[in-house]
């Protein structure tokens, strides 16, 4: 018998527990109390806990660490009509995401310790899941003056980034990396050379056929090459927010082979969609960076599988109807993805492109480790953040059912297979799937 009776103790049993970084991949369960994990693994069973805990039967489903999404855009503060921290957390919980990392391009920009504190307080008051902000590298995201990186870190920012902008001034970026290194702050870069990235979709035959301006993959490569050279100069920890092309992967592999402190992410959209999905000017597929070729998509999938790409992100970017239901060239960039990221990712495992352990690691454990968070682990003493997943559960993506305030999903009307059926944060159920 494990422990003594407690009304706050719950045992999730009869699960397939999968946490690759803890070496867990097989039948078992998890025992939690007061927001923390007491025990996990094959020894946590209905018989072992007895009457000491409330028992939840997982019915053989997957039990994985709660997903950690490193790239989430919201509208709070300043554009709450697009998304609030509360509505983003609702979408996250429904998608099995227990921690969201929000971007600083809000109004005002998260470039001051007081605004970091505001976001954290609002999250504590309104959000179902854990929320942590990235702060700006430069004040106002203007690329002219460096923000107070040390103060931002002390206030609770987990990294610095200029969100959808690259820091064009190389010397300013070098100084920012040096300061970040001294404060052990992660720097997250947006890899697009501004003078080459003015197009609205991937440069190539498809863009020419549609009569749309192109954004070449070389724009990404050039900025990556510059950034990584400066990383080599400074020794700072650097994360590429999202890569989108095979050419970029070559650059990242060289940097990792040199032993540079470099990691990178990819959006789920770039793993399951390509430029042809734009079809007849479908603006929900207008993203930054743009959807690339099928060859690029396949290369990205292979790079997740072999570990070149460390994490998968939703790149959740809510936009209103007013900014999306426009001619393609005029429409805003971005798509929502918090609620559909897990389901879309599971399709890659179902088709055997990416092994399930690697997929789970890239969605939960690796992003937590990169950010230095205590979440993302299934082990005694860790926060009780986890997700129960039914890989065979089919569901249809419809506007009315999406929890985000904005409905710009590229998967609308699609049937996806696999989803979170229960999401637990600090031992408390924040989402439970109810079949309609």
Nearest residue to 384 via CA among 344, 333, 347, 424: 424
Spatial contact of 76 and 122, defined as CB atoms under 8 Å apart: yes
Look at residue 2 in the predicted model and tell me its pLDDT: 39
* Helix/strand/coil percent split, the chain, to 5: 35, 25, 40
> Which portions of the chain are predicted below pLDDT 50?
1-6
pLDDT in tens, 220-262: 999 999 999 999 999 999 999 999 999 999 999 999 999 999 9
Look at residue 304 in the predicted model and tell me its pLDDT: 98
What CA–CA distances, in Å, run from 350 to 148, 258, 343, 364, 397?
A: 45, 34, 10, 18, 19
Round to whole Å and give the CA distance between 133 and 71.
Answer: 10
Look at residue 4 in the predicted model and tell me its pLDDT: 43
Three-state secondary structure call for residue 117: helix
Please give the CATH number for the structural domain made up of 66-371. 3.20.20.140
Three-state secondary structure call for residue 171: helix
Spatial contact of 336 and 318, defined as CB atoms under 8 Å apart: yes
Look at residue 351 in the predicted model and tell me its pLDDT: 81
- Residue 335 per-residue DSSP state: B
pLDDT in tens, 21-55: 999 999 999 999 999 999 999 999 999 998 889 99
SS3 letters across 365-397: HHHHHHHCCCCCCCCCCCECCEEEEEEEEEEEC
pTM (two decimals): 0.96
């Amino acid at each position: 018998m494990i422990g003594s009776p407690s009304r706050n103790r719950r045992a999730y049993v009869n699960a397939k527990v999968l946490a690759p970084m803890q070496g867990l991949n097989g039948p078992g369960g998890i025992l939690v109390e007061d927001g923390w994990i007491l025990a996990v693994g094959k020894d946590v069973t209905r018989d072992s806990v007895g009457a000491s805990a409330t028992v939840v039967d997982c019915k053989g489903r997957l039990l994985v660490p709660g997903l950690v999404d490193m790239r989430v855009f919201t509208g709070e503060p300043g554009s709450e009509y697009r998304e609030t921290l509360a509505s983003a957390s609702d979408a996250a919980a429904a998608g099995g995401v227990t921690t969201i990392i929000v971007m600083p391009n809000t109004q005002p920009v998260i470039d001051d310790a007081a605004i970091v504190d505001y976001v954290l307080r609002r999250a504590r008051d309104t959000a179902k899941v854990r929320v942590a902000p990235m702060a700006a590298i430069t004040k106002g995201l203007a690329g002219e003056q460096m923000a107070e990186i040390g103060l931002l870190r002390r206030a609770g920012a987990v990294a610095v980034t200029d969100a959808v902008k690259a820091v064009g001034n190389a010397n300013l970026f070098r100084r920012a990396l040096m300061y970040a290194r001294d404060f052990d702050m992660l720097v997250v870069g947006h890899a697009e050379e501004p003078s080459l990235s003015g197009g609205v979709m991937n440069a190539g035959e498809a863009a020419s056929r549609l009569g749309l301006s192109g954004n070449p993959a070389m724009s990404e490569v050039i900025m990556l090459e510059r950034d990584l050279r400066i990383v080599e100069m400074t020794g700072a920890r650097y994360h590429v927010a999202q890569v989108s092309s095979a050419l970029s992967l070559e650059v990242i592999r060289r940097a990792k082979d040199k032993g540079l402190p470099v990691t990178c992410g990819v959006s789920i959209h770039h793993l399951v969609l390509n430029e042809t999905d734009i079809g007849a000017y479908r603006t929900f597929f207008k993203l930054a960076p743009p959807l690339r070729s099928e060859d690029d998509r396949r290369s990205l999938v292979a790079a997740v599988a072999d570990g070149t790409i460390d994490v998968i992100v939703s790149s959740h970017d809510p936009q209103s109807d007013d900014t999306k239901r426009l001619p393609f060239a005029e429409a805003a960039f971005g798509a929502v993805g918090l609620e559909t990221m897990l389901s879309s990712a599971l399709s890659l495992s179902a088709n055997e492109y990416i092994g399930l352990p690697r997929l789970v690691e890239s969605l939960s454990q690796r992003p937590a480790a990169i950010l230095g968070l205590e979440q993302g682990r299934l082990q005694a003493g860790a926060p009780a953040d986890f997700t129960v997943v039914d890989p065979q559960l089919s569901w249809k993506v419809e506007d009315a059912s999406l929890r985000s305030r904005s409905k710009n999903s590229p998967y609308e009307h699609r049937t996806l297979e696999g989803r979170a059926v229960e999401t637990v944060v600090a031992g408390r159920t924040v989402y439970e799937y109810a079949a309609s």
